[in-house]
Amino acid sequence: MQDGQIIKKTELDSGIRVLSEHMPGVRSASLGIWIESGSRDEEKGEEGICHFLEHMVFKGTNSFTAREIAEEFDSMGADINGATGKESTVFFARVPDENIPRALQILMDMAKEPKLDPKDIEAERQVILEEINMYMDSPDAVVQDLIIENLWDGHPAGHNILGEAEVIRNMDKKMFEEFHSNNYVGSRIIVVGAGALNHDQLVELVSNLSEGIEVGSKPSRSAPASDPKPKTTIMNKETEQAHIALGAKGLPRGDPARFALALMDNVLGGSMSSRLFQKVREEMGLVYSIYSFTALLIGMGMVGIYCGTHPSQAHLVVEILEEELARVGAEGFTEKELKRAKQHVNGAFLIGLEDSYTRMRRIAKAELGGEEHLSPEELIERINKTTLEDVENVFKKTWMGNGLSLAVVGPLKEGEVELGTKKARKD
């Protein structure tokens, strides 16, 4: 850590890393127990176990029932939740400062000793299956998972975080116990706090609460996905809109060009003034929702575009998206666009710093990705130093690099929407 940085870090003998950021003038704190294990770390036949286990942690421990966990946090005036991602699982809470010790005690107990009662497993299995059903009724979510599967075909990072229904039906207590034993270990646990807290006191609390946790081993993620090949997937489904996603190879976590990537994404489709929003929605009125996005994982990444339109217009919208990408590739962006993107990205970042959860999550994501912990001033400086050439180079490396993949969910058949059917038009 550099002198003067707000973020402090301590690694315990158990391998647990404790990181914190004190926020003056607030009376609460956000606490997160991050497990360096996500859906990309699941073996064949385990798809969905990370997410299922995240649910089971809330069903009680050897010390607290599920009801007691809920009542404890309610009585503290606190919020508690969990989330599963491609590379991590987190249990987090936002609590008034006087309740930090108690909240951390319960969160650590949940991570250390989930009860995993077979009756609870069976009940939660039905909840998970209903969650999968709900997800299948959300075509905007389904299409984004389809584009990920297209790009990372055959790689564990490509499968759905929720898992497959048939796999979920076969999970039992032994599977959960083995997965928990291998993944909820010291070297994969990161405790992060942001807000009204003291780092040394947080370290002491975690140290006292982590007795019995083995160091274990870090996840093996040495095999990144191969370069994606252009692919089109159409899921025929009776929907009012055709949900469309374009995707291409992106950048991995920690890539020095990630600041240029953020600005490129903002100019392309990350704001109301972006190229895609102005062209496809404001000028042509073809969509209600359209945006671009990025995903940066360890050793791999993707860039994407999502929009929804009437099925009869799907082919036209895809043509226009390709045209706009081709136009940027040929003509580049403008200094005016870059300046506006810098102001937007920096402004959104500064606004986010007012929230302790956003700060806690930012610290954890940097630590999980092996990135340096930048102060707000350092991050803004990196953004401001990014040149137009940097942004255009990252566009060529991503969107113009290995070809596009397309996914569509809607009342369409194969061949009704395709890539490369029309060259860019001259306006």
Q: Is the pLDDT of residue 426 over 50?
A: no
Do 48 and 197 belong to one domain? yes
The angle at the Cα of 252, spanning 291 to 188, to the nearest 5 degrees, equals: 110
pLDDT confidence of residue 3: 37
Do 198 and 270 belong to one domain? no
> 253 lies in a domain?
yes
Q: Where in the sequence is the domain holding 202, given as residue range(s)?
A: 8-209
Here the CATH number for the domain that contains residue 347 is: 3.30.830.10
> Looking at residue 60, what DSSP letter applies?
B
Which pTM value belongs to this model? 0.93
**Number of domains the chain is built from:** 2
H or E, element range at 126 = helix 118-136
> 226 lies in a domain?
no
> 218 lies in a domain?
no
Lowest-confidence segment of 193-202, 221-230, 272-281, 365-374 by average pLDDT: 221-230
Banded pLDDT at 193 (limits 50, 70, 90): very high
pLDDT confidence of residue 1: 33
Q: Which residues are catalytic?
A: 54
Q: Is the pLDDT of residue 151 over 60?
A: yes
Residues whose CB falls within 8 Å of the CB of residue 211, separated by 6 or more in sequence, listed in order: none
Do 283 and 401 belong to one domain? yes
Kindly write down the DSSP assignment for every residue of 255-285, as one continuous string. -TTHHHHHHHHHHHHSSTTSHHIIIIIIIT-
3-state class of 414 per DSSP? Answer: coil
> 45 lies in a domain?
yes
Do 316 and 365 belong to one domain? yes
CB 229 within 8 A of CB 402: yes
Instruction: Find the DSSP H helices in 353-412.
Output: 356-368, 376-385, 388-398
Do 248 and 349 belong to one domain? yes
pLDDT confidence of residue 424: 40
Lowest-confidence segment of 123-132, 168-177, 224-233, 349-358 by average pLDDT: 224-233
Do 253 and 341 belong to one domain? yes
Do 177 and 258 belong to one domain? no
pLDDT confidence of residue 103: 97
> 50 lies in a domain?
yes
Q: Is the pLDDT of residue 427 over 60?
A: no
Q: Give the mean pLDDT of 410-425.
A: 80
Question: 367 has which bridge partners?
Answer: none
User: Using one digit for the tens of pLDDT, what is the confidence trace for 1-39?
Assistant: 333 458 999 999 999 999 999 999 999 999 999 999 999
CB 259 within 8 A of CB 383: yes
Do 338 and 385 belong to one domain? yes
> 364 lies in a domain?
yes
Q: How far is CA 230 from the centre of its chain?
A: 24
Do 114 and 149 belong to one domain? yes
Task: Give the integer Cα–Cα distance in Å for 120 and 173.
Answer: 10
Task: Give the integer Cα–Cα distance in Å for 293 and 282.
Answer: 19
> 2 lies in a domain?
no
Which tokens hold the place of 97? 């400062």
